[in-house]
């Protein structure tokens, strides 16, 4: 596939990294020559220096015969204009734009149409981050929760702790504890190394366990890995930007919310707009302010300003002063692995959330959902099986007879309204939504080929 990526920032660079090794023809456009040279030296791709929305630059990047244009510059307006020009001048068939401003997103239905601004798929990093944090609040103790098949199936990641009934026992004993709940452990990461789970595999304290189950059973399965945390009630949010205000708005009806904002005018505006949130003008690293607001009674402290260092330091201070759980938004990839698992309970990467959403539209075959896991190391995929026994490598076959790539596990199948937790004897049928876990994303292209029906396959 010939893909043009506009913007060589963290999202554009990470996307290029994900796609360059999958037999795609990638061209990256940016005004930053040094950044482009860095990407070109590291990956097998073309680069073009210039303004992403200029017709001459798009022509030079190959827009006339490109399959897809992905606009992820830091400017919403540049992204929108680039999609408009790609459509009007070059008839580029697939156009994706990252749009961050809530003002544009609010008018999404009317604005992003062929006759207006021709964007096929809209990616809003802020909304993706809000949704991710909301899921973590819904499932106390989870490191990551991802929904598939319109919410029917979920993959969840948890740290195994002493006190969980399964810790110190083999996976096979889970059926004895939960005879009426079907689940499958998709992967275990022990000391950052993947372990292929077998029935005899013993879960150890400190393991990062990924499991798949029908969404209504997620909390029950989590209780096997750790002592189940009580539902959160009191939440403190630091940062009143698009993410912080959007999160407060989504949570304030069901939770007790306090929000700290450094800018006095922004704090005043938020105090008027948010009906059930207590808004403070102040600095979250002010010990006196945290003490006055009874930080020791806060169930979750969420630092989501634009400053990584400020987020990390305020969260560490809040944890030391008694906050039960702390989450931080971190832009720099290097920081995510550095902080999570220590004083920081959960590190949230907007880049990974954005990449997951983008990959869902880029993957070949009928892949309808992609989620980047473990900071981009692993991947979960939802693919729809098409064809019959004569044209498909998966339809009409039992899982044990399918040649899956290394480190790939089929966790669940959604057939109509039914959720089937997969085992070796499960047979895949035409139209099934197949949810898979890959411990190594380099095999994604092999999975794509597996689910592409071919009239020549015998």
What CA–CA distance (Å, rounded) separates 57 from 7?
Answer: 13
Q: Locate 235 and state its tokens.
A: 């939440």
Cα–Cα dist 270/118, whole Å: 33
DSSP one-letter string for 60-91:
HHTGGG-SEEEE--S-HHHHHHHHHHHHHTT-
Overall residue count recorded for the chain in this entry: 458
- pLDDT, residue 359, reads 79
Share of the chain above pLDDT 90, in %: 52
Long-range Cβ contacts of 270-277 (<8 Å, 24+ apart)? 270/240, 270/245, 273/245, 273/249, 274/245, 274/248, 274/249, 276/252, 277/248, 277/249, 277/252
- Per-residue pLDDT reduced to its tens digit, 350-384: 888 888 888 777 766 577 888 877 766 788 889 99
Tell me phi and psi for residue 5, to 5 degrees.
-110, 120
Is residue 147 scored above 50 in pLDDT? yes
Does 350 or 334 have the greater pLDDT score?
A: 350
Mean pLDDT of 94-103: 89
- Are the C-beta atoms of residues 141 and 345 closer than 8 Å to each other? no
pLDDT tens column, 446-455: 888 888 876 5
Given a cut of 80, whether residue 13 has pLDDT beyond it is yes
Distance CA 404, CA 356 (A): 22
Tell me what percent of the residues of the chain surpass a pLDDT of 70.
96
Burial group, residue 157, by CB count within 10 angstroms (0-12, 13-18, 19+):
buried
How many other C-beta atoms lie within 10 A of the C-beta of residue 52?
A: 28
Residue listed under structure tokens 């904002």 = 261
Over 50: is that where the pLDDT of 456 sits? no
Does 14 or 215 have the greater pLDDT score?
A: 215
Q: 261, 244 in Cβ contact below 8 A?
A: yes
52-78 tens-digit pLDDT: 999 999 999 999 999 999 999 999 999
When pLDDT is averaged across residues 393-422 and rounded to a whole number, the result is 91
Query: What was the pLDDT predicted at 64?
Result: 93
Q: What is the mean pLDDT of residues 4-13?
A: 91
pLDDT tens-digit readout, 306-333: 999 999 999 999 999 999 999 999 987 7
* pLDDT value at residue 337: 67
Determine the average pLDDT of the residues in 182-200.
87
Tell me how far CA of residue 36 lies from CA of 17, 31, 409, in angstroms: 13, 8, 36
Task: Look at residues 237, 241, 291, 240 and name the one whose alpha carbon lies nearest to residue 261.
Answer: 240
Give ∠ CA 26-27-29 in degrees, rounded to 5: 145
- Is residue 281 pLDDT above 90, yes or no? yes
Mean pLDDT of the region 419-431: 91
- Per-chain mean pLDDT for the chain: 89
pLDDT at site 108: 86
Query: What are 199-244's pLDDT values in tens digits?
Result: 899 999 889 999 999 999 998 888 888 877 889 999 999 999 989 9
Q: Please say if the pLDDT value at position 297 is more than 60.
A: yes
d(CA 367, CA 347): 27
Q: Is the pLDDT of residue 5 over 90?
A: yes
Cα–Cα–Cα angle for 148, 151, 157, rounded to 5 degrees: 60
pLDDT attached to residue 341: 61
- Phi and psi based region of residue 205 (left: phi greater than 0; alpha: psi -120 to 50; beta: remaining): beta
pLDDT given at position 340: 62
Structure tokens at 361: 């539209």
């Amino acid at each position: 596939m010939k893909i043009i990526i506009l913007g060589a920032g963290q999202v554009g660079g990470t996307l290029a990294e994900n796609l360059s090794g999958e037999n795609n023809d990638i061209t990256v456009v940016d005004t930053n020559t040094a950044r482009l040279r860095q990407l070109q030296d590291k990956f097998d791709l073309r680069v073009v220096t210039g303004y992403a929305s200029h017709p001459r630059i798009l022509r030079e990047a190959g827009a006339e015969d490109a399959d897809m244009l992905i606009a992820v510059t830091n400017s919403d307006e540049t992204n929108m204009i680039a999609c408009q020009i790609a459509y009007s001048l070059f008839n580029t068939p697939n156009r994706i734009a990252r749009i961050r401003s809530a003002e544009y997103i609010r008018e999404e239905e009317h604005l992003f149409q062929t006759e207006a601004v021709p964007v096929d798929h809209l990616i809003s990093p802020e909304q993706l981050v809000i949704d991710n944090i909301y899921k973590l609040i819904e499932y106390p103790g989870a490191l990551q929760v991802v929904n598939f098949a319109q919410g029917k199936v979920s993959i969840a990641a948890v740290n195994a702790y002493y006190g969980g009934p399964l810790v110190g026992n083999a996976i096979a004993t889970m059926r004895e504890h939960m005879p009426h709940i079907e689940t499958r452990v998709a992967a275990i990461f022990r000391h950052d190394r993947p372990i292929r789970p077998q029935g005899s595999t013993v879960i150890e304290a400190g393991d990062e366990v990924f499991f798949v189950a029908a969404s209504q059973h997620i909390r029950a399965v989590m209780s096997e890995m750790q002592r189940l945390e009580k539902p959160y009630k009191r939440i403190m949010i630091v940062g009143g930007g698009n993410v912080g205000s959007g999160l407060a708005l989504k949570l304030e009806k069901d939770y007790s919310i306090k929000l700290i904002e450094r800018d006095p005018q922004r704090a005043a505006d938020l105090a008027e707009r948010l009906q059930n949130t207590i808004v403070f003008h102040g600095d979250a690293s002010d010990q006196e302010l945290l003490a006055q607001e009874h930080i020791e009674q806060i169930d979750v402290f969420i630092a989501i300003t634009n400053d990584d260092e400020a987020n990390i330091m305020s969260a560490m201070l809040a944890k030391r002063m008694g906050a039960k759980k702390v989450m931080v938004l971190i832009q720099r990839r290097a920081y995510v692995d550095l902080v999570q698992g220590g004083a920081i309970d959960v590190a949230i990467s907007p880049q990974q959330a954005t990449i997951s959403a983008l990959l869902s539209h880029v993957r070949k075959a009928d892949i309808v959902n992609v989620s980047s896991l473990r900071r981009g190391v692993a991947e979960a995929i939802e693919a729809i099986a098409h064809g019959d026994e004569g044209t498909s490598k998966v339809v009409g076959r039992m899982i044990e007879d399918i040649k899956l790539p290394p480190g790939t596990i089929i966790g669940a199948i959604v057939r109509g309204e039914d959720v089937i937790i997969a085992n070796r004897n499960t047979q895949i049928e035409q139209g099934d939504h197949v949810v898979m876990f890959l411990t190594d994303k380099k095999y994604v292209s092999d999975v794509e080929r597996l689910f592409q029906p071919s009239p020549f396959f015998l």
